[in-house]
Homo-oligomer: A and B are copies of this chain.
Amino acid sequence: MRQAGRTLPEFRELRQKHSFWEICTTPELAAVATLQPVRRFPLDAAIIFSDILTIPAAMGLEVQFSPGIQISPLVASAADVDRLPVPDAGRSLRYVADALRQTRAAVGPDFPVLGFSGAPFTLAVYMVEGGGRAGFARIKSLMYGQPATLQRLLTKLADAVADYLGMQIEASATAVQIFDTWAGELAPEDFTAFALPAVQRIIERIGGRGVPVIYYINSAGNLLEPMDASGADVLGVDWRVSLAEVRRRLGETRAVQGNLDPGVLFGPPALIAARTASLVEQTKGQGHIVNLGHGVHADTPLEGIAAFIEAVHACAPLEVAP
């Protein structure tokens, strides 16, 4: 998961000198932050250091971290939606492509480096709710009161995300991930009506280039079947649903990513090893990117992270299905 860096002393040192947003938007710094976890731990991939709010910023909204997210002005009406531009990714988001290229130059051609973007619904939540999301009253009000306006916003965001991920693929991303932090807030029928078509629109544009697309939903358990209709190559899920259940509901061969509770890394190494082994057992290690089910807590002990990675590698090499 992204921003594993924030647990590392070397990242905190970088943050002494540069703001979070400065690191995101300065390719040299983003590449340094991307590589910090890879240099410290025997990881099998890196994920570009960035933030899901790059797109709202590129659309001209002001994004602040103080430390909670503050976005202004809020998107509240059809006129607000019409006023938002689809950003020219190659210009206003070029810093992400540059960070990817610099990371690629450092790790060589074969090491996996993942790109990512926020999903349209999640970006819409931030843009409509701003900082506070108590009860998601504003986005729900828009969804049920002015559904066509929300649809237009989601379509515009889908086009922006597709351009953005396409640029990351051209800049050598090995795979790209679409993060839907807030889609799990939706009843299945609303997910299918609003969040899903926007993701499908993205994947229609960027899929099929030989670069896997991972679609992650936080609190995905109620949405597995419609999520599977997204067209993503890999489904990323949080720890609240077991991978055994994902396989039961979506078939034995569905590629998945996840999903240890990041809180487990607070436990002793023996617990971490046991929970990791049980996780891998659920998929028999087939079509499974072993990962946490969400981001690392900032105050996770480094020993816990090391124990998790060691436990993954300790899983007996599994026969790969032909």
Contact = CB atoms under 8 A, between A and B. Distances in A.
A261 B297 contact: no
Interface string A136-151: 1101110111000000
Interface string A244-288: 010000000000000001111011100100000000000000000
How many chain A residues sit at the interface, stated as a range, is: 35 or more
A22 to B, nearest CB: 23
Output the residue of A140, A187, A239, A299 with the most chain B CB within 10 A.
A187
A110 B33 CA distance: 65
Contacts of A263: 135-137, 139-141, 143-144
B135 A185 contact: no
A145 B240 contact: no
- The quantity of this chain's copies bound in the complex is 2
Chain A interface, DSSP helix/strand/loop, else mixed: helix
Contacts of A262: 135, 140
Given A135-B262, A190-B261, A221-B221, A240 B144 contact: no
Question: For A139, A188, A300, which residue has the most chain B Cβ atoms within 10 angstroms?
Answer: A188
A207 interface: no
Given A135-B262, A137-B263, A186-B240, 5 more contacts: A137-B266, A137-B297, A143-B263, A144-B264, A185-B240
Interface of A: 135-137, 139-141, 143-145, 184-190, 219, 221-222, 239-242, 245, 261-264, 266-268, 271, 295, 297-300
